[in-house]
Amino acid sequence: MMKAGKILLLLLCLHVFSYAVISAQPQTCPAENAGECGDSDGWEGEFFPGIPTIKYEGPSSKNHLAFKYYNAEEEILGKKMKDWFRFSVAFWHTFRGTGGDPFGAQTKFWPWEDGTNSLNMAKRRMRANFEFLNKLGTDWWCFHDRDIAPDGKTLEEANANLDEVVALASKLQKENNKKVLWGTAQLFMHPRYMHGAATSSELGVYAYAAAQVKKAMEVTHYLGGENYVFWGGREGYQSLLNTDMERELNHLARFLEAAVAYKKKIGFNGTLLIEPKPQEPTKHQYDWDAATTANFLRKYGLIGDFKLNIECNHATLSGHSCHHDLETARINGLLGNIDANTGDPQVGWDTDQFLTDIGEATMIMLSVIKNGGLAPGGFNFDAKLRRESTDVEDLFIAHIIGMDTMARGLRNAAKLIEDGSLAELVRKRYQSFDGELGAQVEAGKADFETLEKKVREMGEPKVPSAKQELAEMIFQSAL
């Protein structure tokens, strides 16, 4: 019996392995679109026929292609909703996501794709991006260099490809009145980056990464981008036994210093953002979470030159809530942008789902409001459709539910702030510090002898309730 079981398991493994090999084959032109295939940037008519411009219809609407809570022009706490959020579409998930995973092949075959990674296909895709932004009613988009243009055999070839697509993007931005929220360099896909980019053990790779970031900063600046992101895709380690962590971190700091210098040299006034993530693809990424990254920035004297891009699914991977990492960033003066997504409580990896939890959205917005908003940052939907969601309209539905969820979060957070009882509960909790001695403590003027004297005078302190359930009751009343 045991033997037969083992053989069955082996056969199963072989099956999965052969499937993985098949799925690694390049994508081909889907048969039903054969007429559209070929190396051309041309495309007749709309990319999203049948999808209207998405409008606000209010909470009673049953139209899945309408906003129920996000009303761009409506003012909440003195600011238009669109200005609280500055919603951005992530080019990589929306236009380069294939639905492939380590066990299975591509599931998404968008009609405008010809199955190639050609320059002409990149241009056609860019035009689809602007129609998508227009129909969704978002002003912003984000990109990696290699999402929007094909790589090249040499740096020169890759840069020339990028320049061609960026020239088209610039023209389309002007025609459609759209803007780049942030740009970044993809320093993790190419095999040269297998040991890292700025933290690679190879000097040539460090130099290549610098050249790639230099170009990505230039094109972000050229496109009027308001921020530039560093996500250390492979800046971490798989084993400490073969890693000089101190040297790698020193290299990373030097790399970021050089980026700050180059930003000044080209007159780029956007914010530089670091995006923490604890693991995946490496087992331990150096920018683990907001606190670790803040400590790194302080150690190397970079704290004034960077802010953080907090991604909710990254925060939960590091064992925090999104709210925790937002608050950590905020109280350190580092909250710059949010990569709005969420994970799955049963899954231990970066599932990059659209956030649909209204409670979580409300907590996020409490932080954002306390921060006075995020500008020049915003909310970038670093989120993808599930592998099984394969209709073009799913791209819209996903963004609509993501935007509506955040809008509900904003409305609820505003209710809580206007009501004031949650803030009052917190104020009361610390009121023992509002007197003379508390002021002395908070000003750093109460030494141990003074405090000991007070204990002798006051005796055993009366310790009140924390009122957590009441806080939860108040919070829930706003949802």
Residues carrying an active site annotation = 144
| DSSP state string for 240-274 | GGG--HHHHHHHHHHHHHHHHHHHHHTT--SEEEE
Least distance (Å) between residue 187 CB and ligand XUL: 8
**311 near Co ion, rule: CB under 5 A:** yes
Closest C-alpha to 80, from 414, 341, 423, 358: 414
**147 near ligand XUL, rule: CB under 6 A:** no
Least distance (Å) between residue 103 CB and Co ion: 23
**147 near Co ion, rule: CB under 5 A:** no
CA gap 279, 115 in Å, rounded:
31
Site for ligand XUL in 76-105 (CB under 6 A): none
76 binds, among ligand XUL, Co ion, none (CB under 5 to 8 A by kind): none
Least distance (Å) between residue 380 CB and Co ion: 7
288 binds, among Co ion, ligand XUL, none (CB under 5 to 8 A by kind): none
427: its two tokens: 């104020």
State the greatest distance between any 2 C-alpha atoms of the chain, in Å, as a whole number. Answer: 89
Name the residue nearer to ligand XUL (CB basis): 71 or 200: 200
184 binds, among ligand XUL, Co ion, none (CB under 5 to 8 A by kind): ligand XUL
Q: Are 234 and 193 in contact (CB under 8 A)?
A: yes
Q: Which residue is nearest to ligand XUL (CB)?
A: 231
CA gap 381, 378 in Å, rounded:
10
Q: Give the side-chain half-sphere CA count within 13 A for 143.
A: 29
Task: For strands 79-80 and 75-76, give the pairing.
Answer: antiparallel
Interface pick for ligand XUL out of 114, 350, 360, 404 (rule CB under 6 A): 350
For 294, counting Cβ atoms within 10 Å of its Cβ (0-12 exposed, 13-18 middle, 19+ buried), the class is buried
Contact letters (x/-) for ligand XUL, 330-349, by CB under 6 A? ---------x----------
Name the residue nearer to ligand XUL (CB basis): 36 or 287: 287
Least distance (Å) between residue 277 CB and ligand XUL: 6
Name the residue nearer to Co ion (CB basis): 251 or 277: 277
**229 near ligand XUL, rule: CB under 6 A:** yes
Site for ligand XUL in 398-457 (CB under 6 A): none
Interface pick for ligand XUL out of 382, 395, 402, 409 (rule CB under 6 A): 382
Tell me which amino acid residue 65 is.
L
Q: Are 326 and 368 in contact (CB under 8 A)?
A: yes
Name the residue nearer to ligand XUL (CB basis): 216 or 366: 216
Closest C-alpha to 139, from 88, 98, 186: 88
Q: Are 127 and 175 in contact (CB under 8 A)?
A: no
CA gap 287, 334 in Å, rounded:
14
277 binds, among Co ion, ligand XUL, none (CB under 5 to 8 A by kind): ligand XUL
Q: Are 273 and 228 in contact (CB under 8 A)?
A: yes
114 binds, among ligand XUL, Co ion, none (CB under 5 to 8 A by kind): none
**382 near Co ion, rule: CB under 5 A:** yes
Q: Are 343 and 279 in contact (CB under 8 A)?
A: no
Return the SS3 of 80.
Answer: strand
In 3-state terms the chain splits into helix, strand, coil percentages (rounded to 5) of 50, 10, 40
Interface pick for Co ion out of 36, 139, 339, 350 (rule CB under 5 A): 339
Upstream peptide bond of 281 is cis (omega within 30 degrees of 0): yes
Which range in 146-154, 257-265, 295-303, 376-384 contacts Co ion by CB under 5 A? 376-384
Site for ligand XUL in 310-329 (CB under 6 A): 311
Output the CA torsion sign for 414, 383, 333, 430.
positive
Contact letters (x/-) for ligand XUL, 182-201, by CB under 6 A? --x-----------------
Least distance (Å) between residue 275 CB and Co ion: 5
Least distance (Å) between residue 49 CB and ligand XUL: 29
Contact letters (x/-) for ligand XUL, 270-309, by CB under 6 A? -----x-x--------------------------------
Upstream peptide bond of 376 is cis (omega within 30 degrees of 0): yes
Which range in 181-189, 282-290, 382-390, 421-429 contacts Co ion by CB under 5 A? 382-390
Least distance (Å) between residue 382 CB and ligand XUL: 5
For 8, counting Cβ atoms within 10 Å of its Cβ (0-12 exposed, 13-18 middle, 19+ buried), the class is exposed
CA gap 215, 209 in Å, rounded:
10
Tell me which amino acid residue 45 is.
G
146: its two tokens: 């290699």
Name the residue nearer to ligand XUL (CB basis): 186 or 412: 186
Least distance (Å) between residue 144 CB and ligand XUL: 6
Residues within the interface to ligand XUL (CB under 6 A): 144, 184, 229, 231, 275, 277, 311, 339, 350, 382
Residues within the interface to Co ion (CB under 5 A): 311, 339, 382
